Structure 1
Amino acid sequence: MDALIVRERRDLSDGREVKGAAMRARLRTATEELIAEVGVAATSAAAIAQRCGVSRGAMLHHYPTRDELIIDTAAHFWQRQRETVAALAEDLSAGRTNVGTFVGRLYDEVFRANALVTMLDLMVSGRIDTRVGEAVNRILADLFHSYGDLGERAFAAEDLAPERIRTLVTLIVSTLRGLRIQDNIDRDETRVRAVLAMLGEAVEALLERDRRTPDVRRVRPARARSGVRT
């Protein structure tokens, strides 16, 4: 999946396939929208082509099968998510934002994306469609692993042990994912903001406690002694 993205960016950079890249982007957008609206099973190649306003033949020229289009859509979703989280992590690490703002922006810019509903549906459908399911599971595994890496960057200033940071990131991500599912079923913006504020306060409290707890600090090798022994 990463190879497709790298190739597409290379094609854009040297001026080749600009129109083709634009068409593939349109097809991926149509695929995301349809899966979010009607589910994977009802998202046929014909429906995607119709939503995109192109012939089915034109679509198949870029993606020979529906599965390839769905898998590439998931791969690009992963890449967008990672880039967004990386920017948020950099802001927190550099002190340009605080934990509460970081949590709120993470929810609004990542977890509230319609594509997240698409990915959740793809996860469920993967139990039936082995090829799509296996590909999506690999993409999600990479995504969740990157969350841990980006979390270490975001909270680097706290000087906590990597495993402690990854646990903290899991708490944040799991809560936001659950909140997104809940809000998709029963929308309540006041409740969403209250939960985000509470999560931010909880994370701040955990960090404050960890600052006073040697057991969760990063273990650093002892410095070599200098001087002449007598």
Structure 2
Amino acid sequence: MENMNIIDLFLSASLLVQLIMILLLFCSIASWAVIIQRSVILSKAKKQINYFDNKFWSAEDLNTLFNELQQRKTGIQGTEHIFYSGFKEFSRLHQINPNMPTAALDGASRAMHLSMNREIDNLDRYISLLGTVGSTSPYVGLFGTVWGIMNAFIALGAVKQATLQMVAPGIAEALIATAIGLFAAIPAVIAYNRLTLKVGRIEQSYLNFIDELLAILQRQAIAIRK
């Protein structure tokens, strides 16, 4: 017993407990892959917001900015995509009926919100996996522990004289399942909360940009009518 390590405990565990440990390790690896990938993507999205925000407010003419984006529209994303879809829809509707700026503004608002929802869906992808892993892994590990301890006591009941040395290995290998479950769950829960908060902040930035752009388009529409 003194020389046993985690690998020995895993190899000596029952098949079901081994499968549970492997499942939990796979969930942990998948969680860390999502954590790293989403962290990089959200960081890039935040930088893109700051970059386009500076470019937007320093632009002398929105038509020039729109034309620039139109030339490379396959690569636009984030606030660039929201601006492009909103300004395009506003220009189209305003050309159809210049005397109804409200309809053009409503159409631009709908187009921008649809684009924003697509952007948020892309940013939020796979984050729900972290919530699932964080909420279920401890219980899966606990199930493995209960199963392992049950088998240990069943084996203990088959002998006439029970000692601590006989039951300790079985209990130890069972408790490893709970430890692995917590190892998978704790980082997943922390990352889920942090990444969800970041997505929420980015979404609020998108909403603020939509409101600002609609206000500018409204002033332009009023100026054109005059």
TM range (shorter): 0.3 to 0.5
TM superposition score normalised by structure 2:
0.34
Q: Give the helix-richer structure, 1 or 2.
A: 2
TM superposition score normalised by structure 1:
0.33
Which one has the largest radius of gyration? 2
